[in-house]
């Protein structure tokens, strides 16, 4: 049964639509809630809302919806991780790069035994090379071994899981008649009841051996840098992250709050002069839809600055700057035809 309530008059309006159910009230049901509130418009006495430029700023744009899609994707990834109880390995890439891993291990063992090898492998290396070797060599290898043991040793439990994610960002509007700041809060919660339907496929999925596209992408040089701008790797992994699992009673709840606060300039009714007035408009939308969200290809976004990305970038630049320059092509004389010619 669907119920609806609303208030569509005054400075604060809202509407709500929801479903009702019988006891024991455990099934997630869809609903939508929208609320708008604002202060009285300058020089107005009707006590009603005004759809001015400040209000239009609080309407979600296509860019905002893309950000909300990213938030839902992050919440989905967290829910899947909790459904699998945090188990997951990347043995596919480890097996693909077994020669590099073996060379790294044998080199480290030689360095522990012979001083000459130790000097060759570590003493003469720059800090950037050592950092990259540790971050993209030793740490993934050790993590994959530990994760594989955890996957093989773990037992799956069927229980409700939830994943949450949120972001906050702002925009400024500075025009001759408006000086306002818009703050947008976007959030999502993904919930479901998970159970293992095919233990064999679930094991292969948890070990990272069932998705060749994700393995091939991780093997591409510098693909992790592309993931900073467009998380292609996360998208490819999400295509098969639920292989061997079934989800029930799944739902997605999204939250979008937009608040625009500042000053606007209007004509004073008595003096006829332009006067600055306070203005505040806020909109809130909460919506729940049933079903587990499907993977969606993420749009381009600028990466967030953090210490890890800064260290990786610095180490790569240091490594490239230390590479010896290539010899330019040499001009050689020809006995026939033109006197000088560059080699092909």
Top-confidence residue, 125 or 289: 289
Domain limits at 312?
Answer: 36-43+57-322
Please, which residues bridge with residue 179 across strands?
A: 174, 263
* Average pLDDT of the segment spanning 12-30: 88
> 28-59 pLDDT, tens per residue?
899 999 999 999 998 887 888 999 999 999 99
pLDDT of residue 333: 43
Cα 10 from Cα 12, distance rounded (Å)? 5
> 302-343 pLDDT, tens per residue?
766 666 666 666 666 655 555 554 444 444 444 444 444 444
DSSP string across 27-85: S---EEEEEEEEPPPTT--S------HHHHHTS--HHHHHHHHHHHHHHHHHHHHHHTT
- pLDDT band with cut points at 50, 70 and 90 for residue 144: low
Check: CB of residue 264 under 8 Å from CB of residue 52: yes
Residue 7 lies in a domain: no
* Average pLDDT of the segment spanning 60-86: 88
> 226-249 pLDDT, tens per residue?
877 888 888 888 888 888 888 889
* Average pLDDT of the segment spanning 145-168: 71
Residue 303 lies in a domain: yes
pLDDT of residue 296: 80
- Chain centroid offset of residue 71 CA: 7
DSSP string across 138-159: IHHHHHHHHHHHHHHH------
Work out the mean pLDDT of the chain and round it to a whole number.
Answer: 77
Residue 197 lies in a domain: yes
Residues 6+ apart with CB under 8 A from 320: none
Residue 24 lies in a domain: no
Domain count, the chain: 1
> 100-139 pLDDT, tens per residue?
555 655 665 565 555 555 455 554 455 545 555 555 555 5
pLDDT of residue 334: 44
Residue 19 lies in a domain: no
Residue 340 lies in a domain: no
Residue 344 lies in a domain: no
pTM of the model: 0.70
Residue 343 lies in a domain: no
């Amino acid at each position: 049964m669907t119920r609806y309530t609303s208030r569509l008059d005054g400075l604060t309006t809202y509407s709500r639509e929801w479903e009702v159910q019988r006891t024991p009230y455990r099934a997630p049901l869809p609903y939508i809630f929208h609320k708008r509130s604002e202060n009285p418009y300058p020089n107005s006495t009707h006590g009603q809302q005004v759809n001015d430029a400040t209000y239009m700023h609080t309407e979600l744009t296509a860019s905002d919806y893309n950000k909300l899609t990213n938030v839902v994707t992050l919440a989905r990834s967290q829910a899947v991780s909790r459904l699998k109880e945090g188990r997951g390995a990347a043995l596919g890439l480890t097996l693909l790069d077994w020669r590099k891993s073996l060379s790294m291990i044998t080199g480290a063992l030689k360095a522990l035994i012979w001083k000459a090898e130790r000097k060759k492998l570590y003493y003469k290396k720059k800090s950037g090379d050592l950092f990259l070797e540790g971050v993209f060599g030793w740490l993934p290898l050790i993590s994959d071994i530990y994760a594989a043991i955890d996957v093989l040793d773990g037992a799956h439990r069927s229980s409700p899981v939830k994943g949450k994610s949120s972001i906050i960002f702002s925009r400024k509007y500075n025009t001759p008649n408006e000086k306002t700041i818009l703050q947008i809060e976007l959030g999502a919660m993904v919930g479901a009841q998970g159970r293992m339907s095919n233990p064999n496929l679930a094991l292969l999925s948890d070990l990272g051996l069932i998705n060749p596209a994700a393995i091939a992408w991780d093997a591409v040089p510098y693909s992790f840098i592309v993931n900073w701008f467009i998380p292609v790797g996360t998208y490819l992994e999400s295509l098969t992250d639920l292989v061997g699992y079934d989800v029930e009673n799944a739902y997605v709840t999204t939250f979008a709050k937009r608040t625009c606060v500042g000053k606007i300039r209007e004509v004073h009714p008595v003096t006829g002069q332009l006067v600055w007035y306070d203005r505040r408009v806020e909109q809130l939308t909460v919506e729940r839809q049933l079903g587990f969200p499907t993977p969606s290809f993420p749009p381009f976004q600028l990466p967030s600055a953090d210490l890890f990305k800064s260290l990786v970038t610095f180490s790569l630049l240091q490594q490239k700057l230390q590479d010896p320059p290539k010899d330019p092509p040499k001009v050689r004389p020809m006995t026939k035809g033109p006197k000088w010619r560059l080699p092909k």
